[in-house]
Structure 1
Amino acid sequence: MRDVASAPAAFPPPAGGLADTVFERAEENPGLPLLARHAKGAPGGWETVTAGRLRDEVLGLAKGLVAAGISPGHRVALMARNRYEWTVLAHALWTVGAEVVPIHPTSSRDQVEWILRDAGCVAVAVEDELGVMTVGTVCAVLPRLRHVWQLDAGALAELTERGVDIPLTTVESLRRIVLPDSTAAVTYTSGATGRPMGCALSHRGLAYPCDVLLAGWGHTAAQPGEQPSVLAFLPFSHVYGIMIQTMCLRGGILMAHEPEMTEEALASALSTFRPTYLYGVPSVFEKLYKTFLRAAQQAGRGALFERAAQTARDFAEAEERARLGIGTGPGLDLRLQHALYERTVYRKLRSALGGRARRGTSGGSSLSRELSLFFEGIGLYIHDGYGLTETSGGITMQPLGREKSGTVGVPLPGTDVRVAEDGEILVHGPSVFQGYIGDEARTRSVLRGGWLSTGDIGRLDREGYLTITGRKKDLIVTSSGKSVAPAPLEQRLRMHPLIHQAVVVGEDRPCMGALITLDPEFLSHWRAALALQGDFEGRESREESALREELARAIASANSTVSRAESIRVYRVVQEPFAPDNGLLTPSLKLRRDVIARHYAAEIDAMYKARSRAARGGRTPEPADWDEPDDVFR
């Protein structure tokens, strides 16, 4: 092995199952608010649910599940958005020893059929009639499926009523035989590079990282004397969402369910619920930054915002150097500038996010160092975490007082990380999964001696900080044999406010290329601002020319971070966004690179051929022919 990061001393292992948390919380403090949901007429539009009430609802539903024939080891799918009923039903299932199988509610018919059949589910809870119809089309090939429960039709209330006569002792006895190593959930991988695989995650595996994080970092989730609170909007169908849910309940953190992931819904929820801690994926924080910038430009303060943003990054970088012992911290001039912008800019930005949060976590993919420094500089430290479905969630964290932006921190206590000779990250620890259900060969291929081959590539520095550079399967090999990790280039491209998404291509091509989608809201704002600079004559050609210049600057900025051989030389702007609905993104918002490459095969061929013809003039193209970026617009 090339690099090894040994974790600090291990944390005491959890006991029992995840459902025990609900009962223990109710016993300790029955009046503690644990969950929140939208409710008309409630203060701020949110109704809170206490630990005691949650325990009672979970217990009543667990009795109903027993009456319905749900037994230990049975697998039950939950196909719904982030709503209160998801949390209640999951813990009721864990109470009776059943296993939860999360399914994203927008999954296609084929995806639903595959997961229900592969997991052998005996029941599925769906949100609405659309979910019922989707499951109904595949019931004929699912002989083990006995129940389809519709949440919007009052299914949980009916189950609870059905279990009224079940003795309390029956449920209690079932809960007490759930062991830490019992399977709690079968969570499916994103399927970015093939058919999703069901990862068996134990109660111990899901609880361990949460308990470690709560013990070491839980006090940072809110100001002293204030109950921490989190807005849960990322899907519970992904391990990241399940981890947040588990951590909130085990840590007594008030968790609000936000089922909508639209910009308007999140903005409203942030301003009314006012969480003390934020979490999300990089695209969420990228969108927040662009929203801040667009709002400032619309108010005629774009230049002020950009100066404030640069000051924030400079201030955070100086602070980072000081805490790492390699600098003296911000100088007097920088402190004065930062203090000025704190009063005029930063405070307003934090207020737009509810005003109470001071820290947060980004996961799912790498957060750019530039963006991390910006948020830290405005008084909201967003650290980048690392984990995957096979590790039950997070496995690294930034050490308090020694945070280093651009990395994902160091291994959690009890978890060890190695980097193999080929750059692949290997992980060992109590949160590593039990295996892929029904696929022992695949399990053996990624689990060797307890070490998980993650498929991610990265590096460890001398202090043990881990940096993720990409996925092994995502590496692009050009026709000249150069291997390129696309993620850093894509990350840099997305930092430009006009660029919404980017996919770097170039397999067996003479150079790197990119497919780009534009941010419709920022594009509309940009066009409106551009129109003020002159009359309507020649407006279309002026817009296209200006847009080409903007994208050329974005590509030049991305290229400045890589070698000449790795830089982007051709690109195309495409109209259709990459989304889960069109199959170009996974439900967890990861790029389906193979699908995108097939979907846009003609466009990719066209942009390389157009550039090649223009460059070579009838001769064999040389590397110098690709020195200047070219583009093709649709």
Structure 2
Amino acid sequence: MGLGSGRYRGALEMPCSGRRTRHRQAMKFNPLSPDATMYHIFRESAGRHTNLICQRFRDEKGDLQSITYHEFYEELSGIAAGLLALNLEKGDRAALIADVGPRWLRICGALNSVGMVDVPRGTDATAEDLKYILDHSEAKAVFLQNRTAYEKLKDSLQDLSGLKYIFFFEKESNLDIPAEVAALSLEELQEKGRQHLDGNPGAVDKEGAGVVPQDLATIIYTSGTTGTPKGVMLNHSNLAWEARTILHILAEQGTPYTSDDRSLGFLPPWHIGERMWETVLYHCGSSIAFTSITSLSRDMQEVRPTVLFSVPRVWEAMYNKILETVRQASPGRQKVFFFFRKVALSFRFHWDRMRGKTYHTRAVPGILVLLERLFSLVIVLLTWPVFLLSRLAFKKIKGVLGGEIRYAVSGAGALPEHIDRLFAAIGIPIFEVYGMTETSAVSVARLGRDFVIGTVGKPVAGIQVKLLDSQGNEVKKPGVKGVCYHKGPHIMQGYYKDEEKTRAALKDGWLDSGDLLIWTREGLLKFAGRAKDTIVLMGGENIEPEPLEFALSQSPLIHQVMVVGQDKKFLGALIVPDHTGLENQLKAMNLQGAIDPDYYNLNEDIVKLYRREVRSRVASDTGFKSFERIGVFYLLPEPFEPGVELTQTLKVRRNIVTEKYEHEIQNMYRQMGGKI
């Protein structure tokens, strides 16, 4: 069916120009109207990029399939019309319980196009959380990716009196569903939509035209590291403004997305960073292929992405995978790699400093900065030939990641500098952004011209940021920590049905992020931890655990770690060993390799090994104060898992871990078994 005919004509009247013209339009940056809603973004982008590939995904056989922008919008419109046929109305909430994949954006687009509110969550959420979210949001409908999600909800259906519809991604049978709840597959919902449009042409456009920027678009429940999930309310204006602003700053920095770009999607649909990433790509006519963490390496090779978005833990995993592969090579190849890595990291640092692209966390005389830059110029000139050889050596590594990445983006946490610098050295700059669900994704960005490794950059145009100390005074001096407050058109409308928490977070339009940042001498921002995670020792010392955890997690022997010590004399650490790294180290020391993890803490050789490792990573010569040193540790037999000890963005839920391992923590301090 052509775009100019049939039931979808009204939705897609905008002519679609040739590919070359589209490319020029994307390069020039085509802003949306300030009055635009998510309906306009979906409608107009589909019209401009009709025959381009929109999404790619694997079928049941594992083969890559694709759909065009036209096909994407046809399904979106069918779902939207189906919702209207079932008398669902503007403002009604619909939960979306799904993982990464091609359908969730179509469903969100359909809901937003008729003024409904999407409430996304992953299938790995607990049954308790899902019941709470559907009940608290008063969802009238829920979209379920699979039977697994349904099994978590089925015992709660009788208690969800407002729920009227369950929409399964695929046809399901033999389900014990209450009579008052109707169950349909997506295909059945779309068929109802097609029938509805036959009798009501333009129904979706009519509803979409009635949606205004101030209307609520989504309620995203943040699991957080403590407490009950909070429903972050974002309206159409929040999301559309953020998308429009990201497009603008990318174009200004000389790094725009275009219709030639390809990306991979592997983060959950409720992750605000992933949602905004896909929205911006969609507006530009780019394509995205969906994968999983386990299939990431394979799909990197096949899709060959040109741009990529992920979280720090994934970049760390990629970095560690590279090192793990190298350690399996011959001793000679290992020496070559680590030599060139040292050269590349040194060269990259001096290259950046020579160009004034490094930072200082204290006031430094201008003459000293000039001397630093001149010294770095000499180092660059001396090491340039060897660095070129290192680029050749790293070419295979870049090839493992597809070989065509122009740049990547990292968000939802601080990126360790050694990882940041290595990827930059091999030719993959990682643009770091800082924000949160409550800010519709991005408030601060470190992009092309402001690319300074170790910082998160500058506040985005149109957004205000300030740092306040514990007395409420604004911090402007470099190197002094302060809680970051955000203000701008991207700030949430509040927490759904929670005035108390809304008032605590929002004051005079300023959002209290709970994040600690510092200003650099150069006017850039640097992440410094979480104010709420601050550990206060018995002596009154205030310590941010994240820098310590970052330092420890760089060890090949440590997979995960959480620092503890509230009201104790000194800090302790719960360490999840990297079993592969540990076995390799034990073999290298001619010690027993295979040991039951439950007995790690009883093995003197292993305890000594970790004691030495912790001492070397957290010490005065690595930049830590005496009271920040780890006094005791305990080796955990099992890793932290998403949805349990970790949030869905892989941040440690400190209260859960502390509660789960309360006995181990008490014994650790009492017995001093892992004493440093």
Do Structure 1 and Structure 2 share a fold, with TM-score over 0.5?
yes
Give the aligned partner of residue 582 of structure 2. Answer: 523
Q: 2:601 and 2:81 mapped to 1: Cα distance?
A: 68
Preserved CA contact (<8 Å) 1:498 1:523:
yes
Question: Aligned pair 1:49/2:109, yes or no?
Answer: no
The verdict on how the C-alpha distance between 1:295 and 1:350 changes in structure 2, with shifts beyond 3 A counting, is same
Question: Aligned pair 1:322/2:354, yes or no?
Answer: yes
Q: 1:238 and 1:224 mapped to 2: Cα distance?
A: 21
Q: 2:577 and 2:146 mapped to 1: Cα distance?
A: 33
Q: CA deviation at 1:146?
A: 0.7
> Paired residue for 2:269, among 208, 233, 236?
236
Q: 1:365 and 1:105 mapped to 2: Cα distance?
A: 23
The DSSP-based 3-state class of the residue aligned with 2:170 is: helix
Give the aligned partner of residue 307 of structure 1. Answer: 339
Give the aligned partner of residue 138 of structure 1. Answer: 156
Preserved CA contact (<8 Å) 2:420 2:430:
yes
Give the aligned partner of residue 10 of structure 2. Answer: none
- Please say which of residues 305-314 and 350-359 is displaced more in the overlay: 305-314
Give the aligned partner of residue 283 of structure 1. Answer: 313
- Please say which of residues 451-460 and 161-170 is displaced more in the overlay: 161-170
Equivalent positions of 1:434-583 (< 5 A) are 434-531=493-590, 545=605, 548-549=608-609, 552-559=612-619, 560-581=622-643, 583=644
Give the aligned partner of residue 214 of structure 1. Answer: 247
Q: Which residue identity is paired with 1:375? A: F
Give the aligned partner of residue 302 of structure 2. Answer: 272
- Please say which of residues 321-330 and 437-446 is displaced more in the overlay: 321-330
Preserved CA contact (<8 Å) 2:587 2:593:
no
Preserved CA contact (<8 Å) 1:276 1:358:
yes
> Paired residue for 1:33, among 49, 53, 59?
53
- Please say which of residues 280-289 and 223-232 is displaced more in the overlay: 223-232
Give the aligned partner of residue 79 of structure 1. Answer: 97
Give the aligned partner of residue 5 of structure 2. Answer: none
Q: CA deviation at 1:122?
A: 0.6
The verdict on how the C-alpha distance between 1:563 and 1:13 changes in structure 2, with shifts beyond 3 A counting, is farther
Deviations 1:515-570 (A, max 9, x none): 11022343344445555x9999xxx9999626733552344223322211111121
Give the aligned partner of residue 187 of structure 2. Answer: 157
Q: 1:386 and 1:185 mapped to 2: Cα distance?
A: 21
Q: 2:607 and 2:329 mapped to 1: Cα distance?
A: 22
Preserved CA contact (<8 Å) 1:117 1:142:
yes
Give the aligned partner of residue 380 of structure 1. Answer: 428
Give the aligned partner of residue 298 of structure 1. Answer: 328
Preserved CA contact (<8 Å) 2:113 2:207:
yes
Preserved CA contact (<8 Å) 1:222 1:276:
no
Q: CA deviation at 1:235?
A: 0.7
Give the aligned partner of residue 484 of structure 2. Answer: 425
Q: Which residue identity is paired with 2:410? A: S
Give the aligned partner of residue 359 of structure 1. Answer: 407
Higher relative contact order (CA 8 A, sep 6+): 1
Q: CA deviation at 1:192?
A: 1.0
The verdict on how the C-alpha distance between 1:297 and 1:551 changes in structure 2, with shifts beyond 3 A counting, is farther
Q: Which residue identity is paired with 1:343? A: L
> Paired residue for 1:368, among 416, 420, 442?
416
Q: Which residue identity is paired with 1:589? A: L
Q: 2:122 and 2:469 mapped to 1: Cα distance?
A: 36
Preserved CA contact (<8 Å) 1:75 1:122:
yes
Preserved CA contact (<8 Å) 1:128 1:153:
no
Q: CA deviation at 1:216?
A: 2.4
Q: CA deviation at 1:115?
A: 0.5
The DSSP-based 3-state class of the residue aligned with 2:539 is: coil
* Consecutive unaligned residues in structure 2, runs of 5 or more: 1-30, 173-184, 358-368, 471-481, 595-599
Q: Which residue identity is paired with 1:291? A: K
Deviations 1:369-400 (A, max 9, x none): 12111111111111322111111111111142
Cα RMSD over matched residues? 2.5
Q: 2:435 and 2:441 mapped to 1: Cα distance?
A: 5
Q: CA deviation at 1:55?
A: 1.5
Equivalent positions of 1:137-216 (< 5 A) are 137-153=155-171, 155-166=185-196, 167-216=200-249
Give the aligned partner of residue 440 of structure 2. Answer: 392
Q: 1:544 and 1:290 mapped to 2: Cα distance?
A: 27
Q: 2:592 and 2:560 mapped to 1: Cα distance?
A: 30
The DSSP-based 3-state class of the residue aligned with 2:194 is: coil
Q: CA deviation at 1:19?
A: 2.8
Equivalent positions of 1:94-109 (< 5 A) are 94-109=112-127
Q: 1:69 and 1:270 mapped to 2: Cα distance?
A: 43
Q: CA deviation at 1:459?
A: 1.2
The verdict on how the C-alpha distance between 1:399 and 1:240 changes in structure 2, with shifts beyond 3 A counting, is closer
Preserved CA contact (<8 Å) 1:515 1:573:
yes
Preserved CA contact (<8 Å) 2:601 2:635:
no
Aligned residues: 594
Q: 1:37 and 1:219 mapped to 2: Cα distance?
A: 32
Preserved CA contact (<8 Å) 2:519 2:526:
yes
> Paired residue for 1:124, among 117, 142, 166?
142
Preserved CA contact (<8 Å) 1:127 1:150:
yes
Misfit runs of 4+, over 6 Å: 219-226, 533-536, 540-543
Q: 2:214 and 2:84 mapped to 1: Cα distance?
A: 22
Q: CA deviation at 1:48?
A: 2.2
> Paired residue for 1:339, among 388, 399, 411?
388
* Consecutive unaligned residues in structure 1, runs of 5 or more: 1-10, 615-628
Q: 2:562 and 2:528 mapped to 1: Cα distance?
A: 15
Q: 2:316 and 2:192 mapped to 1: Cα distance?
A: 47
Preserved CA contact (<8 Å) 1:82 1:235:
yes
The DSSP-based 3-state class of the residue aligned with 2:323 is: helix
Equivalent positions of 1:406-421 (< 5 A) are 406-421=454-469
The DSSP-based 3-state class of the residue aligned with 2:391 is: helix
Q: 1:35 and 1:14 mapped to 2: Cα distance?
A: 27
The DSSP-based 3-state class of the residue aligned with 1:165 is: helix
The DSSP-based 3-state class of the residue aligned with 1:418 is: strand
Query: In percent, how many aligned pairs have the same letter?
Result: 29
Q: CA deviation at 1:413?
A: 0.8
The verdict on how the C-alpha distance between 1:528 and 1:161 changes in structure 2, with shifts beyond 3 A counting, is farther
> Paired residue for 1:257, among 269, 290, 313?
290
